Every structure is written in structure tokens, then in C-alpha cells.
Structure 1
């Protein structure tokens, strides 16, 4: 690191658990953020400010005025702009020294797999079950850690699926793909704006810890937040031997659309 980088990341370097070695790991890291909405906004901003060296932001949606109640990465002046491009613009303003890629297109299974294979970690910031399951399948296939967050109304959740550990569960162990039921979305049910900030910030924290190799991750633990009463609950998550993704079976991947909360 040069003098400018030492100054920029000084508050991280002062942390004994992180230090220069940990910060250099962050600078060398390459991550994929799927979703540039309410969760993706704090995730992207914190990872950029923390010095994650290469960030790919995938989202094929555009900025709408109803997004601005919670999607703090975007601005009124960027209404109509692709979210991936708007997000990279915001990250670049925070930290012009990192490499940013805006991916503003739908991802089929092959494209998603090719992308996941090139990164160190994936953050799921979407609100679409099909997308979540496709991301999970790619992460399982390439043994990439997945930081998963969700938020709706006043309820949030966050966990880590790290299949680099043999006994770790995957997203499908917790939420099997049944093909039944209707997914709730913020557009139809609403969302408390600070909730996505809380969950997204925690996703960023888990990603930084994993990339730097510090602390204990949420692998195998699901945190649930009731923001109306501001109460947290922790639930253990175990690998399902019969899981169709990481267990004995296999599932196929189809075309997905990166939809954000």
C-alpha cells in the first residue's frame, strides 16, 4: 500500500484483528454483489469504502423514484439510470482507487456460473426466490461463500452459507425450491427503510470478515430481526443430507432476472 492507501484505511489498520495484512487481503479481493437496491446499497457503499479491490455489481433494473425511500446509493438526479451504473458511480465517488464493474443484464445459469467462478465471495441482495436459488447453486458448484440477506415490512434476516466447510448448509437446505407460493415483495407489502440499511450493513460486515479471515461468521446461524420491537433471534441452520443442491440430488438452473428489494 502507498501512503494514500495507508491514510485512507488507517482506521482498519489500527484494528489488531485486521491490520495491514487484513487490509491487503481486502484490496486483493474480488466480490460479486447481485442486486443494487435497498440491501445492495449499503453493501456496495461499505465494501467500496472498506477497499474491496474489485467489485462487480449486477442488476438489470433502472432507478425509479419509489426506490429512493430506501435505496440510498441512488439519487434523484439519476432517475432512469441503470442501477448497476448508478451504483458504480456512487462507489467510485467514495473510492476511486478500486476496480468496479457494472453488469446491467439478465444472467442465465451459465453466465452466473462463469461469473461466480471468478470471485472470492458473493452477496445476495435480491428479493426473488428464483434468483436466490440460482445464485446458491452457482456458489455450491464453485465452493464460494455466500452472504445472504432479506428484508420485508419490518422483518429482516441474514446468514452466511460457506460450502468451503463440508458440513455447512446451503440456501436450499433452509429454503427448498418447491415452486409453490407467491413471493412477497417490497412493492406489494412495503418495507421499513432503515431495515434494509441494518441488514445490508451486516452483510457487508460478514463479507469483510470472511475476506480478511477474521472473527466468526454467521455460517450455520440465521439471525432474524423484528425491527418493530427491535428484537433479534438466532436460529441454528444444519445441512440437509437430502438437499437437492448440496446433498444427494441435483437441480437445473434456468434464466434469472436480478430483482432487488
Structure 2
């Protein structure tokens, strides 16, 4: 089966736009169930800038999906069109783990001196992240992070259905990680449930906590920001 590039591009743009604005809308309303991590107000017009950069990132994601479809159409990458439930669950788990590995490597690279100064700094303009920070990237960063699906296909022919779950899974965790809310206050910074405070600390300090959801790669490579309770972090940044 051959992919139609215009259909692929249109569906990707539409799908990411729906997920981004829908996820951000929900994320901005989660304050009723979470404790603010940093209590200072965000910068004026910050969300406007985040939305602008995120729309550019979504266009980049569309182009990357077209490029991936081109490689599949020409037999350079392969996808599966049939899948069973056990295989689907295993593939989703594998994609989740690959997303974690890919993000840690990419993010660590983005924090090298040159790339941070010229590329990744745009994401860190959001010192206090919001749900709209999710795709707020320089276009080079959007290319790098958006390659997660394409690079996964270098190793295995995932089913189309499992591949479709990756952007949704990634966006949900990304929105939660950027909404500046601690949903499980008082837990250790290395707890799985403390991924939002870990990423908020990363935005404040700019060094360490390069992982996405799992804390294990930061632990393995000694890049964890030292233990901080979210409620201490909140008090430290009040006023």
C-alpha cells in the first residue's frame, strides 16, 4: 500500500494541531488537581510566543511524516499493516521505551554549548513552562525530536496502528511535564510520579534532568538534578 503525500501531510498537521490545542486546553485547567510548582507569573506574551513556535514545529512534523512516507513507499523503511492485540501492546511498549531513549540522547545533545546557544535556548525561553510549551521549539529541535518515529523504523517494522499511538502518548506526557503542576506532592524527585517537578527543575536550572518521563537514564549517566521536593521548590520561587 502506497501513502499519498498530500493526505499524509494534511492528516499529520490536523492531528497534531488537534492534539496540541486540545492537550494545552486541558493542561491549563488541571490546576484544580495539582499543586503549582513555581508560583511566579509567566512572562508577558509567553504563551503567544509558545503557540507561534509550536505551529512551526507542527509544520516540521508534517514534513517529517511525508519524508517517512516517501522512504516507506520506496522500500527504504517498512511498516506493517496487520497486527494482533498482544503484538500491538508489545509494540506500544517498545515505542514508549524508544521515545525515552531518543529523547534523552537528543535532549542531552541539545544541551551541548553550541546547540543550546543557537537552538535549544528557544524552548528555555519558557523559564516557567506552560501546557503551550509542549512544541515550543527552534525548527532544528523540531526536526531532531520529531525524528523519533522515523528512527524507530530503522530497527523494526512497526504496525501503522502502533505508530499512531506514539504522538498521542508523547503529547500527553509532554503536556503533563510542562504544565507546572505537581500532581503527587511530597514524593521523592526520583519517583516515576515526579516527572513534572523534574522537568520544571530542568527549565529553571538548565542543567540536568534530561529524561522525558523515566528518571532512569539521568540516574545511569549522573545527570539528575539533586533531590528537591516540589513544595520546597514552590516556596523558593514565590514572590
Q: Tell me if TM exceeds 0.5.
A: no
TM-score, reference length from structure 1: 0.28
Of Structure 1 and Structure 2, which has the larger fraction of its residues in strand? 1
Task: Give the number of the structure with larger relative contact order, counting CA–CA contacts within 8 Å between residues 6 or more apart.
Answer: 2
Of Structure 1 and Structure 2, which has the larger fraction of its residues in helix? 2
TM-score, reference length from structure 2: 0.30
